[in-house]
């Protein structure tokens, strides 16, 4: 893993090196998510490719819909 370095400005802005912007399809207007993992800060570009890669990742149990319907049923019984 290669290291790229950038400096935060007084306004809290950060320049992402052009090599990484091209590699991860980060363009003007691309949203990014900042994730905290232990003692690290991870920047995740929210590109259409990344969103497509998440398809199917929430399949399986427990089903959110099943849980919601059971919860509503329980509330009606109260």
Bridge partner list, 74 = none
Helix-, strand-, coil-residue percentages of the chain, each rounded to 5: 35, 15, 50
The dihedral over CA atoms of 43, 36, 13, 8, expressed in degrees to the nearest 10, equals -100
pTM for this predicted structure: 0.60
| 21-51 tens-digit pLDDT | 999 889 999 999 999 999 999 999 998 888 8
State how far the Cα of 36 lies from the Cα of 21, in Å rounded to an integer: 21
């Amino acid at each position: 893993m290669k290291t790229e370095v950038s400096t935060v400005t007084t306004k809290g802005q950060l320049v992402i090196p052009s090599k990484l912007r091209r590699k991860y399809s980060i363009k003007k207007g691309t949203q990014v998510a900042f994730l905290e993992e232990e003692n690290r800060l991870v920047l995740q570009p929210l590109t259409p490719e990344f969103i497509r890669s998440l398809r199917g990742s929430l399949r399986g149990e427990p089903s959110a819909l099943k849980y919601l319907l059971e919860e509503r049923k329980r509330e009606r019984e109260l």
